[in-house]
Amino acid sequence: MISIRNLSLDLGEFSLRDICLEIKEREYFVVLGETGAGKTLLIESVAGLLRPQVGEVWLAGRNVTNLRPEDRRVGYLPQDYALFPHLSVRDNIGFGMKVAKRAKPMIDSKVAQLANLLGITHLLERDVLHLSGGERQRTALARALAIDPEILLLDEPLSALDEQTRENLCGELRRVHERCGTTTVHISHSFEETLALADRIAVINAGQVEQVGIPTEVMSRPASEFVASFVRCQNILRGRAYSEAELTRIEVDGTEVCSDYPAGGAVTITVRPEEIALSEELPSQGKPNLFRGEVTMVVDRGAVTRVDVTTRAKVQGSKETPASLRLVALCTHRQGKALGLTPGKELYISFRPSVVHVIRRNQDEANT
């Protein structure tokens, strides 16, 4: 449905470099990255508001690189919503159809349909200056959908909203996407928002795509240290890998960690916090990544508890060797309470080799 081919654009402070993306029909695709990464440049290039200096944009099998925005059948919701302050909610929603010279009965019918879909029928005669953030977002979304776009482009649509409204509208965006059958591209800097919405994601950093995949894949198998950090991996450790017959052994500051992932040389390993098990009693022997350590910090986050731990020794059968790793684990509130987690508490820390992801580092990274 959307094919972005070797797209490059330089606007001084912001740029895109050789962007290649393939977005499927009716997919909810999220472009994730920090402020200034180039996300808005990308979506504006698809919308036709910016013309790339190199590369092409194809929509539904058509090369639209040189087409005007109004000829692309794209609905665009900018970050500031860009509602017309002198128009009512009704007239804002119907504006694009009026410009397209559609008949008034058709406009009225479409406005009523979208207002009902988004729960804003009671707001139709209201001045947009007197809307809440969530009401403004729904109005702008209705206006973007009113032209029956094949593709819906959303630029940080939830960033200006409070947490509760943001959570409510996440579900609403997904529902509208499925009901209308559009292909949706959503720009975001929030990984939590992305998890709630995306079929697939692209992580963009400094104008380049670092990784594309389904959210769970990107979480468990990040392609770079940047991606690992951005998807809240928290346990990101540098070391040197030595592949053996069954396992890869990684030396991290004198401590051995085992992985199923074949690799050699300078590497970065990642272990997601939710994959780390904590126990008061010694687990069954034979675990390649079993440590004795202590709790250094406990943070109650409501449904889950963050537990910072430091290992003191690696346990291998009846033998212990010194080990010093700083790790972050997550457990449920109930598990944390049962373990009696407090700073200074000693416990056992373990994780499977299969959850130790290995990222090979290039020569420049190996020297840092």
* CA distances from residue 359 to 67, 224, 231 in whole angstroms, order as listed: 41, 6, 15
Say which CATH topology domain 233-366 has.
Answer: OB fold (Dihydrolipoamide Acetyltransferase, E2P) (2.40.50)
Contacts of 87 (CB under 8 A, 6+ apart): 95, 128
Identify the three-state secondary structure at position 212. strand
89-99 and 104-118 helices cross at what angle (nearest 10)?
Answer: 130
In this structure, is the dihedral angle defined by the CA atoms of residues 308, 314, 320 and 321, taken in order, positive or negative?
negative
Which residue matches tokens 């670092």? 210
**Domain locations in the chain as residue ranges:** 2-225, 233-366
State pTM to two decimals: 0.89
Would strands 183-188 and 151-155 be described as parallel, antiparallel, or unpaired? parallel
H-run or E-run covering 104? helix 104-118
pLDDT for 368 equals 56
What are the start-end ranges of the H helices in 119-190? 133-145, 163-180
Average pLDDT score, the chain: 92
pLDDT for 158 equals 84
42-94 pLDDT tens trace: 999 999 999 999 999 999 999 999 999 989 989 999 988 889 999 999 999 99
pLDDT for 310 equals 98
19 with 8: CB under 8 angstroms?
A: yes
181 with 170: CB under 8 angstroms?
A: no
163-180 and 104-118 helices cross at what angle (nearest 10)?
Answer: 130
Distance of CA 18 to the CA centre of its chain: 21
Its CATH class, for the domain covering 2-225, is alpha beta
In this structure, is the dihedral angle defined by the CA atoms of residues 229, 231, 235 and 236, taken in order, positive or negative?
negative
10-35 pLDDT tens trace: 998 889 999 999 999 999 999 999 98
315 with 348: CB under 8 angstroms?
A: yes
pLDDT for 12 equals 83
